[in-house]
């Protein structure tokens, strides 16, 4: 079993105001220079997870993102093909896939493993699974894990990139948590189901779930799948969706919201194309 010891969230829905740079300047003024908004989101979310306190410098850092720092790639493209100029050195550096992770590690004084995962579909689940495996195998003693996604403007660009065809609200966020294998002092336990399931297999899995467990669905779960999974059982749904717009790593936001609620067990179900992935969070203390 792995345990969640600390968490921190930064979340914004489309249309809401959030001056990330100003907020970061208040807590880490030296980290603002040379960082762009994506990196600043990562820094601020991670800062909130550790509550400004130092953590073990050997803590590994796993950062997940649905689209990575796409804004910097857009800038590089514009500099090269519209302005016909070479890329700005800072933008070039910030375009490296793990630059945000580097800044977070530098900010928190971490010098352990530093991983970056970026993909469409299941990115939060895969990062959590990787952390679970590494902690269980003793490869890591502690992992600071987070999901960071930036809402790029115009929103139609982000919508197209993410493949979101309906009119649902988009969002952005930076949600982090500190994981290790020690139960003492933990806020919640976490169990990530390692395999991929079909809809039928998830349905069978739900039959064995206790009635006190709440079920939450990932934002990529389509309504038909949700209805099919809830049909014929009395499981209560944990609805976090009204608090966030769509972004690929919103699963981390759902976890943090559930822990914040202070009690109970949540089964989180995510869907991508025909596949489903599950994890469970059991709150031990608020």
Partner 1 sequence: MRGSEDEALKLRLKKMIIEECEKEDIEPEDVADDVELFSEASGLELDSLDALQISMGLQNQFNTRLGDSKEFRRVVTTINDLADYLQPE
For residue 25, the minimal CB distance to partner 1 (Å) is 10
| 80 is a site residue for partner 1 (CB under 8 A) | no
Say how far apart CA 212 and CA 269 lie, in whole Å. 16
Q: Which stretch binds partner 1 (CB under 8 A): 87-95, 113-121, 229-237, 254-262?
A: 87-95
For residue 24, the minimal CB distance to partner 1 (Å) is 13
Among 88, 136, 160, 168, which residue interacts with partner 1 (rule: CB under 8 A)?
A: 88
| 81 is a site residue for partner 1 (CB under 8 A) | no
Which token pair is 72? 């910097």
DSSP 31-70: GSTT--HHHHHHHHHHHHHHTT----TT-EEEEEESS-SH
For residue 85, the minimal CB distance to partner 1 (Å) is 6
Total residues in contact with partner 1, by rule CB under 8 A = 9
The CB density around residue 170, as the number of other CB atoms within 10 Å, is 21
| 106 is a site residue for partner 1 (CB under 8 A) | no
* CA distances (Å), origin 146, targets 33, 88, 101, 118, 212: 22, 28, 10, 12, 28
Q: How far is CA 90 from the centre of its chain?
A: 26
Of 43 and 124, nearer to partner 1 (C-beta) is 43
In the region spanning residues 15 to 44, those forming contacts with partner 1, defined by CB under 8 A, are 32-34
For residue 33, the minimal CB distance to partner 1 (Å) is 5
Say how far apart CA 201 and CA 207 lie, in whole Å. 10
Q: Which residues bind partner 1 (CB under 8 A)?
A: 32-34, 85-86, 88-90, 93
């Amino acid at each position: 079993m792995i345990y969640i010891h600390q968490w921190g969230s930064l979340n914004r829905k489309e249309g809401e105001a959030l001056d990330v740079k100003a907020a970061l300047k208040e807590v880490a003024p030296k980290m603002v220079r040379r960082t762009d908004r994506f990196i600043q989101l990562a820094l601020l979310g991670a800062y909130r997870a550790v509550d400004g306190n130092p953590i073990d410098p050997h803590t590994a850092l796993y950062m997940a993102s649905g689209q990575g720092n796409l804004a910097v790639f857009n800038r590089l493209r514009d500099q090269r093909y519209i302005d016909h100029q070479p890329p700005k050195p800072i933008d070039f550096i910030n375009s490296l896939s793990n630059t945000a992770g580097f800044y977070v590690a530098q900010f928190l004084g971490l010098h352990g493993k530093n991983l970056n995962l970026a993909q469409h579909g299941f990115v939060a689940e895969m990062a959590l699974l990787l952390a679970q495996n590494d902690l269980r195998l003793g490869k890591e003693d502690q992992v600071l894990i987070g999901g960071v996604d930036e809402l790029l403007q115009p929103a139609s660009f982000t919508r197209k990139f993410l493949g979101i065809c309906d009119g649902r609200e988009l969002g952005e966020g930076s949600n982090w948590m500190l994981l290790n294998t020690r139960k003492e002092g933990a806020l919640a336990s976490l169990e990530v189901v390692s395999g991929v399931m079909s809809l039928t297999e998830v349905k069978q899995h739900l039959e064995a779930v206790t009635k006190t467990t709440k079920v939450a669905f990932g934002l990529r779960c389509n309504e038909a799948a949700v209805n099919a999974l809830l049909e014929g059982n009395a499981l209560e749904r944990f609805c976090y969706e009204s608090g966030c717009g769509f972004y690929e790593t919103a699963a981390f936001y759902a976890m943090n919201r559930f822990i914040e609620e202070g009690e109970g067990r949540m089964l989180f179900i995510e869907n991508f194309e025909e596949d489903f992935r599950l994890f469970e969070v059991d709150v031990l203390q608020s």
